[in-house]
Amino acid sequence: MTATPPDLSNSLDTRLRGRAAQVIPGGMWGHMRAAAVPTGYPQFFSGGEGARVRDVDGRDYIDFMCSWGPIILGHRHPEVEAVARAQLDLGDCLDGPTEHAVRLAEALVETIPHADWALFQKNGSDAMTTCVTLARAGTGKRKVLVAKGAYHGAVPWCSPSVLGVTAEDRAHLIYYIYNDVESLDAAVAEAGDDLAAIVASAFKHDLATHQQLPEEAFALAARAHCDRTGAALVLDDVRAGFRLNLGGSWETVGVRPDLAGYSKAIANGYPLSAVTGNDRFRAAAEQVFVTGSFWYSGAPMAAAVKVLEILARDDGPARLRAAGERFCTGVTDSAARHRFEVTMSGPPAIPLMQFADDPEAKLGEAFCQQALARGVYLHNKHNMFLSLAHTDGVIDTALSAIDDAFAALARSRSADAPARARSRT
Ligand code: PMP
């Protein structure tokens, strides 16, 4: 099967990009900015259903980004849509929270072993910033340890960009290396008696970097440092939360945090984040002033209650793992058949795809373009996400297109090879 890239010159996507460039700086912002979207990928979408998304020009793709994480049950999951719609019909943004706030906090406390309470926000950045604020408020200390290269949000204390950020914004951050106990020990020593928090991601999922699961020795060391000093162990479960373990991603290594930030998958695409905490930080959570105009809206919380119910009922994490394993094995086997070396690192439900000897992910990009032309939406630098809508049938359809994409990449490699050989002579 061959697939020629569509002519996008007069597509709605191209026209929207042109209009956006006039009124939206850079044409788009943040991780969705035009320059960050792989060449040939659509920028604009019109809808999604199950495991598929549709771009504004009407092309459908099997979606392995799941909206960069939020979609865990599939786009527009009917049971979630029904409860969210019911609240939207009554009103979403009211003079106070709806009863869903209490139901959701109860559900989280029941589901997550470390949690004695929960607070809600909108974004992962809100949740992680709230965790740091609570850690400082609860300990009266200032230093916060974060892993080098880890992403915790796009706000001054942790944004990967230093543009518009002052040194003072990060004056009390100390960096360690994820999974490296010695570097953690050194950072704790540097903090002295001023340690407020150790912040750790659910697993190492830095952009375009081989992913690593947390090592038990590292997680235990972080826990022990916090127990000894009274600092808060803060788990950033924004990206991985509910996909790996409903009780929190470090349940897999038997370590419980004091505070944890969740977002992304919590409400299957509705805007919501949460901080869960234990009773040690309850007083701090009662006293600090953290809030936002939209942090109390009802429909996302109704959706989240339903998402948790479905994930527990349908054995979500185990099924996501199985789907991820089928996908990852299929991709690496297919790559090998076409003599490419591809690794899928990290947990199978949140895999990062990398080609060997491809430091800038250019080969990865060329491959993703071939897959896109065959109706499969992948990413060459960021980890991907599986959902419960990725049934065996959907994955096998995607894998068949992916096999064709590898074949096409192999053909372009052999077409290039003589040219490269000639240019060396
Ligand atoms: N922490 C992690 C681990 C994340 O992956 C993200 C988002 N990619 C954030 C925090 C920030 O979340 P948000 O983009 O919703 O602010």
Would the CB of 67 count as within 6 Å of ligand 1?
A: no
pLDDT, tens digit (0-9, with 9 covering 90-100), for 101-110: 999 999 999 9
Residue of the CA atom closest to atom 13 of ligand 1: 124
Indicate if the alpha-carbon torsion angle 283, 289, 291, 293 is positive or negative: positive
Residue 6 lies in a domain: no
Would the CB of 221 count as within 6 Å of ligand 1?
A: no
Residue 307 sits in the same domain as residue 389? no
Q: Which two structure tokens, joined as six digits, stand for 28?
A: 């788009």
How far away, in angstroms, is 341 Cα from ligand 1 center? 30
The structure's pTM equals 0.96
Q: Is-contact 301 104, C-beta < 8 A?
A: yes
Among 269, 284, 313, the domain-final residue is 313
Q: Is-contact 164 231, C-beta < 8 A?
A: no
Residue 371 sits in the same domain as residue 347? yes
In this structure, which amino acid lies at residue 231?
A
Strand-pair partners of 261? 236, 275
Q: How does pLDDT run along the chain (425 residues), one tens digit per residue?
A: 456 666 677 899 999 999 999 999 999 999 998 777 788 899 999 999 999 999 999 999 999 999 999 999 999 999 999 999 999 999 999 999 999 999 999 999 999 999 999 999 999 999 999 999 999 999 999 999 999 999 999 999 999 999 999 999 999 999 999 999 999 999 999 999 999 999 999 999 999 999 999 999 999 999 999 999 999 999 999 999 999 999 999 999 999 999 999 999 999 999 999 999 999 999 999 999 999 999 999 999 999 999 999 999 999 999 999 999 999 999 999 999 999 999 999 999 999 999 999 999 999 999 999 999 999 999 999 999 999 999 999 999 999 999 999 999 999 988 877 655 555 44
User: Residue 30: CA atoms inside 13 Å, Cβ hemisphere, count?
Assistant: 6
Q: Is-contact 275 118, C-beta < 8 A?
A: yes
Q: Could you list the residue range(s) of the whole structural domain that residue 186 is in? A: 78-313
Residue 157 lies in a domain: yes
411: domain CATH number is 3.90.1150.10
Q: Is-contact 205 199, C-beta < 8 A?
A: no
Residue 241 lies in a domain: yes
Residue 222 sits in the same domain as residue 266? yes
227: domain CATH number is 3.40.640.10
Residue 130 sits in the same domain as residue 239? yes
Looking at residue 214, the DSSP 8-state letter turns out to be: P
Exposure letters 185-203 (e unless 16+ CB within 10 A, then b): eebbeebeeebbbbbbbbb
Exposure letters 322-358 (e unless 16+ CB within 10 A, then b): bbbbbbbebbbebbeebebebbbbbbbbbbbbbbeeb
What are the CA-CA distances from residue 184 to residues 132, 179, 190, 290, 331 (Å)? 18, 8, 10, 29, 35
Please choose from 126, 206, 239 the residue to mutate so as to test ligand 1's pocket, defined by most ligand atoms within 8 A of CB.
Answer: 239
In this structure, which amino acid lies at residue 165?
V
Among 291, 313, 335, the domain-final residue is 313
Residue of the CA atom closest to atom 1 of ligand 1: 152
Would the CB of 201 count as within 6 Å of ligand 1?
A: yes
Would the CB of 263 count as within 6 Å of ligand 1?
A: yes
Residue 7 lies in a domain: no
How far away, in angstroms, is 65 Cα from ligand 1 center? 14
pLDDT, tens digit (0-9, with 9 covering 90-100), for 265-322: 999 999 999 999 999 999 999 999 999 999 999 999 999 999 999 999 999 999 999 9
How far away, in angstroms, is 377 Cα from ligand 1 center? 21
The whole-angstrom separation of Cα 64 and Cα 61 is 9
Please choose from 122, 152, 237 the residue to mutate so as to test ligand 1's pocket, defined by most ligand atoms within 8 A of CB.
Answer: 152
Residues 6+ apart with CB under 8 A from 136: 142, 144, 196, 197
Residue 251 sits in the same domain as residue 400? no
Residue 4 lies in a domain: no
Residue 264 sits in the same domain as residue 176? yes
Would the CB of 178 count as within 6 Å of ligand 1?
A: no
Helix (H) or strand (E) holding 220: helix 216-229
Residue 162 sits in the same domain as residue 273? yes
Would the CB of 124 count as within 6 Å of ligand 1?
A: yes
Would the CB of 241 count as within 6 Å of ligand 1?
A: no
- Look-up of token digits 């040939």: 40
Q: Which two structure tokens, joined as six digits, stand for 41?
A: 């990928």
**What sections of 112-206 are H helices per DSSP?**
124-139, 181-191
How far away, in angstroms, is 133 Cα from ligand 1 center? 17
Residue 169 sits in the same domain as residue 234? yes
Residue 63 lies in a domain: yes
DSSP 247-299: T-GGGGGT---SEEEE-GGGGTTSS-EEEEE-GGGHHHHHHS----TTTT-HH
Residue 280: how many other CB atoms lie within 10 Å = 14
Atom of ligand 1 nearest to the CA of 150: 3
Q: Is-contact 290 138, C-beta < 8 A?
A: no
Please choose from 68, 129, 151, 235 the residue to mutate so as to test ligand 1's pocket, defined by most ligand atoms within 8 A of CB.
Answer: 151
Residues 6+ apart with CB under 8 A from 51: 62, 63, 74, 75, 387, 389, 390, 391, 394
Total domains, the chain: 2
Atom of ligand 1 nearest to the CA of 124: 12
How far away, in angstroms, is 122 Cα from ligand 1 center? 11
Please choose from 67, 211, 243, 263 the residue to mutate so as to test ligand 1's pocket, defined by most ligand atoms within 8 A of CB.
Answer: 263
Residue 360 lies in a domain: yes
